[in-house]
A and B are shown apart, each in its own frame.
Chain A
């Protein structure tokens, strides 16, 4: 498709398990972002990839969170030893131009 694709759309897991969320950005977009939206909160920045530069990881809330982007395209966000407070919608976005992000539909994570 032409848009940002995320999978899975919904994920329910038990506390302590690891999860992987995938993002397939728009073809040709050099920048890729991960945000999350917890209940009643705004969009919280997690991590940002731009081309071949080192990623900006300043938004990752703990060392249980990591992300990689292979070949400048697909990205995977990994959460290890999930906690209930990790429950949120995880949104991926990509951009070609500064500022105008195109978002995927998000992956809703529920940690029981």
Chain B
């Protein structure tokens, strides 16, 4: 039973446009969400996070939106750049203790020039 779902395995976007990556979760105990980015042959790297007390967190070109009632979050990249081409993983945990992160299957983003 997947608790974190990324239903789009891939996404293609033109350079300069907005990339929107979506993530849904089922566990209502999750209250801390992260996005990781992974290039081939490298480990995932932390990108941005959001806790449940907020509905938006912005860091440069990257913004994460959280809709708790819908159990949905999204990552917006504006403007998209070819160097953003990578696999993006959504992850969630609860802050009640040192719980582990539960990851989605990832979405491969391809930004074409």
B43 x A4 contact (CB < 8 A): yes
Interface size on B, residues (CB 8 A): 24
- B42 contacts A by Cβ under 8 Å: yes
A98 to B36, CA, bound (A): 15
A99 x B44 contact (CB < 8 A): no
A101 x B46 contact (CB < 8 A): yes
> A98-B95, A102-B46, A103-B45 are contacts. A42–B104 as well, Cβ < 8 Å?
yes
In B44-61, the 8 Å CB interface with A consists of 44-46, 49
Number of cross-chain contacts by CB at 8 Å: 59
Residues of A within 8 A of B45 (CB): 103
Interface size on A, residues (CB 8 A): 25
In B76-104, the 8 Å CB interface with A consists of 89, 91, 93, 95, 98, 100-104
A98 to chain B, nearest CB (A): 6
- A68 contacts B by Cβ under 8 Å: no
Residues of B within 8 A of A43 (CB): 44, 89, 91, 103, 106
- A62 contacts B by Cβ under 8 Å: no
In A53-111, the 8 Å CB interface with B consists of 56, 59, 91, 93, 98-106
- B64 contacts A by Cβ under 8 Å: no
B108 to chain A, nearest CB (A): 11
13 contacts between A and B (CB under 8 A): A31-B98, A42-B89, A42-B104, A43-B91, A43-B103, A48-B98, A48-B100, A99-B95, A101-B36, A101-B44, A101-B101, A104-B43, A105-B43
Residues of A within 8 A of B (CB): 4, 31, 33, 35, 40-45, 48, 50, 56, 59, 91, 93, 98-106
Residues of B within 8 A of A (CB): 4, 6, 32, 34, 36, 41-46, 49, 89, 91, 93, 95, 98, 100-106
